[in-house]
Amino acid sequence: MGTKRRTVINADATQIERVGNLVTQGRYRTVSDFVREAVDEKLVRIEDAFLADEVARYCAEGHADEDADLIAAQAFDTDPPDRPRPTARKKKRRAPR
């Protein structure tokens, strides 16, 4: 992972309380751990939506018919994607109390 930077976020008090409850329950070590995971998941969703929009635009322009064999081959491609995905949620050790 790259260099970490500190930042301040504004969030609704109830959101912060809900995250705090997850930390207290031991689901996350810190609020920062929760925020890092949430940001990573959101970035992946944005990238996936962008890709879906690009594919839809490409197909709408009539290119899908030209590339049917390529699309079929990629549907069964077992190579991992080039971009990193969020790691599977590991069982977190309980935070010290």
Residue 21 inside a domain? The answer is: yes
Residue 31 inside a domain? The answer is: yes
Q: Is the pLDDT of residue 88 over 70?
A: no
Which whole number is the average pLDDT over 10-21?
97
CA distance 81 to 86: 12
Q: Is the pLDDT of residue 76 over 70?
A: no
Residue 87 inside a domain? The answer is: no
Provide CB contacts within 8 A for 41, sequence distance 6+.
86
Query: How confident is the model at residue 58, as a pLDDT?
Result: 82
Residue 49 inside a domain? The answer is: yes
**Residue 27's domain spans which residues?**
13-75
Which whole number is the average pLDDT over 72-95?
59
Q: How many domains does the chain have?
A: 1
Answer positive or negative: Cα dihedral of 73, 79, 81, 85.
positive
Which whole number is the average pLDDT over 55-79?
71
pTM of the model: 0.59
Residue 95 inside a domain? The answer is: no
Which has more confidence, 67 or 19?
A: 19
Residue 97 inside a domain? The answer is: no
DSSP codes of every residue in 18-67: HHHHHHHTTSSS-HHHHHHHHHHHHHHHHHHHHHHHHHHHHHHTTHHHHT
Residue 47 inside a domain? The answer is: yes
21-45 pLDDT, tens digit each: 999 999 999 999 999 999 999 999 9
Residue 94 inside a domain? The answer is: no
